[in-house]
Amino acid sequence: MSHAYDVIVIGLGGMGSAAAHHLSARGARVLGLEKFGPVHNRGSSHGGSRITRQSYFEDPAYVPLLLRAYELYGELERASGRQIAILGGGVMVGRPETRTFAGSLRSAEQWGLAHEVLDAAEIRRRFPTLTPQDDEVALYERKAGLLRPENTVAAHLQLAGRQGAALQFDEPVTRWEPYRDGVRVHTAENTYTAGQLVMCPGAWAPRLLADVGVPFTIERQVMYWFEPKQGVEPFLPETHPIYIWEDAAGVQVYGFPAIDGPGLGAKVAFFRKGQVTTPETIDRTVHEDEVQAMADHMSGCVPDLPGTFLKAATCMYSTTPDEHFVIARHPAHPESVTVACGFSGHGFKFVPVVGEILADLALTGTTAHPIALFDPARLAAAPD
C-alpha cells in the first residue's frame, strides 16, 4: 500500500522535533503534528535553560548516550547557527553518601570521565557564590553546563523543514490506529496515513499511550528567577557553575548561572518536588508561599541568590515509576509504532541522541545505541 508519508511524528517538542530532523535528514517523507504552536511553553521544553552533564548520578548506563549527545549539540549549532550549549562547568553537591554526589562519582569513575572531587573549603574558594556545609563535598565536571531548550527545539524544526518535513502546528491528534501495513492518524482537521508512527507525547502520554502498560505520573514543576543581592556579575557563567545540590534530608535543588544579562536574574528550582496534575488541570499560577519556600531554601546554600524575585514559570514532568525513560517499539504494535516518553526531570540533555535513536527504530526497527534500560516491559505488572 502507498502511504502519504513514510513517518508521522506526534509531538514536536524536544524529542519529537529531533526525531523529525533525523528522519528527514535520512530522506524519509515526514509529517510532524503538534498540538500547540512551534517552540511553545505548555509542556516540558521551555524555561530558557536545562542542565547537561556526563557524570550521571541516575545510572552509568546513560553515559554513552550523553557522549553522543554532546557530539550532536555541536553539529546542531553549526547546522542551525543557533546557540545550543554553554559548557561552563558544574558541581554535584551533597554529603559523600548522597545519590547526587556518590552516583555522579560512580559514573565518572566507571567511564573515565574527567572530574575533580572538591571538599567544602575548595568549593567555597573556587565558587564564592556557593556556601556548602563543612561535611559536604562536590564532584566538579568541566564539561557540564546548560542547554538552551527553545533554541534546541527551534533548530531541529528549522532543519527538519529545510529537509522537506511537513510540520503542522495547532493541530492536536484525536486518535490513531493501525491501518493495513502502517498507521492512520486523525486530527480535528484531517486524517493522515504513514508506514511508521513515532509518538513523543510528553505529558499527554497517559492518554495517547495508555496501552503501553506504563503508569506515568504527571507532575507540576516550577522554575524561579531571582535577581541576586549583588547583581548578576558574580553569577555569570565564567565564575558561577550549574549545580545540583542535595541536602541532608534528600531534597535536591538545581540552578544556573545568569545567562541573559542584568535585570533577568539567575534561575533555580526544586528537583522532583512537584504536585501530581494533568495537562488539562495544571495550575499555571505560582503562589507566594512557593516563592518563599524556594528563597528560604536557597538562602542556606547560595545566600546571595534570593535577593529579588523576578518571575516564575511552570512546566510538567512526565515520569515513570523508576524515573528511567521509555524508548522502544510499541509493545502492542511493534511493526509500525515507536514510542518515546517519560523523560521529564532529566531527559532534555538527551534530545539530539533520542532523535537519532527514534529515526533508527522507525526506519530499521533497531538501533546500535544502548537502550535496553528503557524497555517498557521492565514496568509491566508482575503476574499474580
Task: Give the DSSP per-residue string, 15-33.
Answer: HHHHHHHHHHHTT--EEEE
Task: Tell me what pLDDT residue 273 has.
Answer: 77
Alpha helices of the chain — where are they, by DSSP H? 14-25, 63-80, 99-111, 120-126, 149-162, 205-208, 288-298, 351-364
Distance, CA of 285 to CA of 288 (rounded, Å): 10
Task: Tell me what pLDDT residue 383 has.
Answer: 39
Q: What is the mean pLDDT of residues 53-75?
A: 98
Task: Tell me what pLDDT residue 84 has.
Answer: 97
Distance, CA of 246 to CA of 235 (rounded, Å): 20
Task: Tell me what pLDDT residue 3 has.
Answer: 66
Task: Tell me what pLDDT residue 191 has.
Answer: 96
Q: What is the pLDDT of residues 69-120, one digit of tens each?
A: 999 999 999 999 999 999 999 999 999 999 999 999 999 999 999 999 999 9
354: which DSSP letter? H
Q: What is the pLDDT of residues 178-209, one digit of tens each?
A: 998 999 999 988 999 999 999 999 999 999 99
Using pLDDT thresholds of 50, 70 and 90, give the confidence band for residue 360. Answer: very high
The beta strands (E) that lie in the chain are given as 5-10, 30-33, 50-52, 85-86, 90-94, 116-118, 137-141, 145-147, 166-168, 173-179, 182-187, 191-199, 217-227, 242-246, 252-255, 266-271, 275-276, 308-319, 326-329, 337-341
Helix axes 63-80, 99-111, angle to 10 degrees: 80
pTM over 0.75: yes
Contact 324, 374 (CB under 8 A): yes
What nine digits make up the cell of 209?
499511550
